[in-house]
């Protein structure tokens, strides 16, 4: 017979199974921020304005429509939809020449796929760009894409991550946010993931992330494995376990 000390650990590990990894794209999976910054600068300058690195950093991780509003204030005399289309077209052109993968991202993605862990892309980039990136991968790693043009509220709102969890539940009703890990690089992205309830890892890139005990922080994905993600999910399960009644034997 198992001792009472062993039983809770087994229950926690079962409840703490890693079922899905939810990937941000820009800055986490691929290093497209330089492409975006170059596109923003070219667009602003074509309208007679100037665009600084500091201004560009304010847009990292934001929805494209929000970013378009900032660019309008910087002097771009176009409708928001026109701004988004112009920027996206420039970045897609660059992606067709080279997809700049972040260190360790493809390796972790492949290990998740080989291990049978489901993956979804959760990005504020729109469908055409996300599909361009996914098409360059050697395997169908992503089960589905949640993109900025199919949600009504962009990051930092949790809608995109909540939508991803709901899609996963369509074929696994027992799945919850506690079975999912989000990988994010930006302040809005991390806020979105945490607010959705999924286990969250911040991998800061262009912009530092403030200290926050509600997430893990990794310097890079290089060398990270499925076991590392499983450990985070198990830790969440253990933290959420009810305290043992007073006087329970060990």
* pTM, entire model: 0.82
Distance CA 107, CA 181 (A): 17
Distance CA 250, CA 247 (A): 9
Helices 80-97 and 127-135: crossing angle in degrees, nearest 10, is: 10
Looking at domain 7-31+102-239, does it have CATH number 3.40.50.1000? yes
User: Does the pLDDT of residue 3 top 50, yes or no?
Assistant: no
User: Does the pLDDT of residue 250 top 80, yes or no?
Assistant: no
Q: Between residues 11 and 206, which one has the greater pLDDT?
A: 206
Q: Dump pLDDT digits (tens) for 206-249.
A: 889 999 999 999 999 999 999 999 999 999 999 988 765 655 54
Cβ(124)–Cβ(160) below 8 Å? yes
Distance CA 185, CA 22 (A): 12
Q: Comparing C-alpha atoms, which of 111, 136, 131, 106 is closest to residue 121?
A: 131
Distances (CA, A) of 233 to 17, 148, 177, 182, 236: 7, 27, 10, 11, 5
Letter string b/e over residues 143-162, b meaning 16 or more CB atoms within 10 A of that residue's CB: eebbbbbebeebbbbbbbbb
User: Does the pLDDT of residue 2 top 50, yes or no?
Assistant: no
Q: What is the structure's pLDDT at 10? A: 39
Q: What is the structure's pLDDT at 12? A: 38
> Which residues have a Cβ under 8 Å from the Cβ of 110 and sit 6 or more positions away?
139, 141
Q: What is the structure's pLDDT at 245? A: 61
Q: What angle do CA 109, 131, 126 make, to 5 degrees?
A: 110
Half-sphere exposure of 181 (CA within 13 A, CB side): 30
CATH architecture of the domain covering 33-97:
Orthogonal Bundle (1.10)
Domain limits, the chain: 7-31+102-239, 33-97
Distance CA 151, CA 163 (A): 8
Q: Comparing C-alpha atoms, which of 177, 181, 201 is closest to residue 190?
A: 201
Distance CA 25, CA 103 (A): 13
Distance CA 130, CA 168 (A): 19
Distance CA 143, CA 100 (A): 22
Q: Dump pLDDT digits (tens) for 119-178.
A: 999 999 999 999 999 999 999 999 999 999 999 999 999 999 999 999 999 999 999 999
How buried is 22 (Cβ within 10 angstroms: 0-12 exposed, 13-18 middle, 19+ buried)?
A: buried
Cβ(121)–Cβ(145) below 8 Å? yes
Least trusted range by pLDDT, from 4-8, 17-21, 146-150, 175-179: 4-8
Least trusted range by pLDDT, from 57-66, 113-122, 177-186: 57-66
Distance CA 34, CA 78 (A): 22
């Amino acid at each position: 017979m198992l001792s009472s000390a062993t039983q809770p650990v087994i229950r926690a590990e079962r409840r703490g199974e890693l079922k899905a990894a939810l990937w941000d794209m820009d800055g986490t999976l691929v290093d497209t921020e330089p492409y975006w910054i170059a596109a923003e600068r070219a667009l602003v300058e074509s309208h007679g304005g100037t665009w600084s690195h500091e201004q560009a950093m304010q847009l990292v991780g934001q929805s494209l429509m929000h970013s378009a509003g900032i660019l309008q204030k910087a002097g771009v005399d176009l409708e928001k939809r026109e701004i988004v289309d112009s920027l996206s077209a420039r970045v897609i052109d660059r992606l067709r020449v080279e997809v700049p993968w972040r260190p360790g991202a493809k390796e972790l993605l492949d290990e998740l796929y080989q291990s049978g862990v489901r993956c979804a892309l959760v990005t504020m980039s729109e469908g055409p760009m996300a599909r361009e990136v996914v098409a360059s991968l050697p395997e169908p790693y992503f089960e589905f894409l949640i993109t900025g043009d199919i949600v009504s509220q962009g990051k930092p709102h949790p809608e995109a991550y909540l939508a991803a969890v709901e899609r996963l539940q369509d074929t696994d009703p027992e799945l919850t946010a506690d079975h999912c890990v989000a990988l994010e690089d930006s302040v809005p992205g991390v806020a979105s993931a945490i607010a959705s309830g999924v286990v969250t890892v911040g991998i800061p890139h262009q912009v530092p992330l403030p200290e926050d005990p509600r997430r893990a922080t990794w310097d890079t994905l290089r060398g990270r494995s499925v076991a590392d993600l499983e450990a985070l999910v198990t830790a969440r399960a253990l933290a959420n376990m009810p305290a043992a009644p007073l006087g329970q034997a060990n």
